[in-house]
Amino acid sequence: MGIKAKPLQVSVLKDRYQTSFMSPRQSRHQIHARRFVPFNKLVNAYDGFTILPPFLSQDLVHAHNRIPLGASRMICSFESDIPRRFGLADDSLLYAAMMREISSKRCRRLVAMSHFGKRTALAALEGRPEYDLLKSKMIVRHPNVRLGTSGDRMAGDDGSKLVATFLGGHFGRKGGCVSVRVAQKALEKGLPIHINIVSSLQMGESVWLDPTEPDFFAPYVDGLDAANITFHQGLPNAEARELLGRSHFALLPTFGDTFGFSAIEAMAEYTPVIGTRACALPEMVSSGNNGFLVDLPVDENGSWVRPDYTERGTPEYAEHYRASIETLADEVLAVLESMIGKADDLARLRANARRTAEEMYSAERAGAAWDALYERVAAEDIDQPVTLDPEKDFSAPESPDYLFR
């Protein structure tokens, strides 16, 4: 009988909501959630780095979005930019320090949470001398979720009245305004469609894609009173997932999302997703199979084509945003209308949504993959350059289409 390998000691940052999606929820190793210095509390531009307490007993550090300065062996996962700059100049000492850390042999992998995130990061690094080195360390691993255990709550439903649920703190950017207009348009047409909206209603100046024109969002917030809308300003995660599971569709008609956790949480509860053909959504949604993608003009990286960020306060930006809301609402409503009473199609979509979650996003599969990566990184010679193994250092699929061929 073989000797069981000693578990590794892995430090992860005791950080934000995202870290739970981009680290093992179950592991054969000892995962330690470590406190760290949140320099962004002093200056927002300092969000991209941190330091950990000294003298920790650890085999490696896995940090998400923040670069742990001075870590002896590390994996850095990220959303869409590495390093996170927030306005830091190329010639700033801090930016140079972060670049040195991730370029060093101590940084063994750079793990993007999506192919969209990897493309975005590489576009930002284009022209830098470190470009090829950093690209050679990059792989893509999608976020993970625990699969729901309640079965398909909508099994046997005839689809004669549809329920769709939007979840998103950023009310405008993630598609809350679109969802309000879907409900209003459905009401005008007399369609049996009910919309749940769960949002803390963050909008405007603090949200990077939103227009800043005064009162722009007022009509959409007022629209939450529509007879076919149920509004929650917040729900515990378990209740939000229950609501998703009791919906025919999850709505994520987003203008920009580095991933979209509500989409995979919905699929973990058998619920198909209606989202935009932008950013990372095509990596989750196979249109017509486990949900539907509606069109939004995007560039070569997948980002929404819009007026420049510096024009957010102009009438032109506001009008572009408003017109885009209307177009998306019409497209989403057309999808919903086409599915009314289609019990067999709804059942197929739900089965496929769950299959997608099981095959691509389950915590069990992700935990095993992270564990294997931790073991390889812990065993590597820190004095040698990083060399990816094409088989073991695999990247997540770019689309779920392969599941339905």
pTM value > 0.85: yes
Report the CATH number at residue 105: 3.40.50
- pLDDT category at 42 given cuts 50, 70, 90 is confident
Residue 376 has pLDDT above 80, yes or no: yes
The tens digit of pLDDT for each residue in 381-401 reads 999 999 999 999 999 999 999
Q: Which pLDDT score is estimated for 91?
A: 87
Q: Which pLDDT score is estimated for 292?
A: 99
The reply to whether 196 falls in a domain is yes
Helix (H/G/I), strand (E/B), else coil: 374: helix
Alpha helices in 303-358 (DSSP H): 315-339, 343-356
- pLDDT category at 218 given cuts 50, 70, 90 is very high
Report the CATH number at residue 343: 3.40.50.2000
Residues 48 and 128 in one domain: yes
The tens digit of pLDDT for each residue in 319-330 reads 999 999 999 999
- How far is 12 from 15, CA to CA, in rounded Å? 8
Cβ(367)–Cβ(23) below 8 Å: no
Residue 294 has pLDDT above 90, yes or no: yes
Name the nearest CA neighbour of 195 among 165, 172, 221. Answer: 165
Q: Which pLDDT score is estimated for 134?
A: 98
Residues 190 and 323 in one domain: yes
The tens digit of pLDDT for each residue in 226-272 reads 999 999 999 999 999 999 999 999 999 999 998 999 999 999 999 99
The tens digit of pLDDT for each residue in 4-30 reads 679 999 999 887 689 999 999 999 999
Domain tally for the chain? 2
The tens digit of pLDDT for each residue in 340-350 reads 999 999 999 99
- How far is 81 from 209, CA to CA, in rounded Å? 17
Residue 55 has pLDDT above 90, yes or no: no
Q: Which pLDDT score is estimated for 4?
A: 64
- How far is 29 from 61, CA to CA, in rounded Å? 13
Residues 198 and 322 in one domain: yes
Strand partners, 274: 251, 292
Which residues span the domain enclosing 197? 162-361
The reply to whether 322 falls in a domain is yes
The reply to whether 150 falls in a domain is no
Q: Which pLDDT score is estimated for 67?
A: 96
The reply to whether 207 falls in a domain is yes
Helix (H/G/I), strand (E/B), else coil: 66: coil
Cβ(230)–Cβ(196) below 8 Å: yes
Q: What is the mean pLDDT of residues 133-147?
A: 98
Q: Which pLDDT score is estimated for 5?
A: 78
Q: Which pLDDT score is estimated for 1?
A: 46
Residues 190 and 328 in one domain: yes
Residue 105 has pLDDT above 50, yes or no: yes
Residues 367 and 355 in one domain: no
Mean model confidence pLDDT for the chain: 96
Sign of CA dihedral 193, 197, 201, 205: negative
Q: What is the mean pLDDT of residues 305-317?
A: 95
Residues 329 and 383 in one domain: no
Alpha helices in 27-89 (DSSP H): none
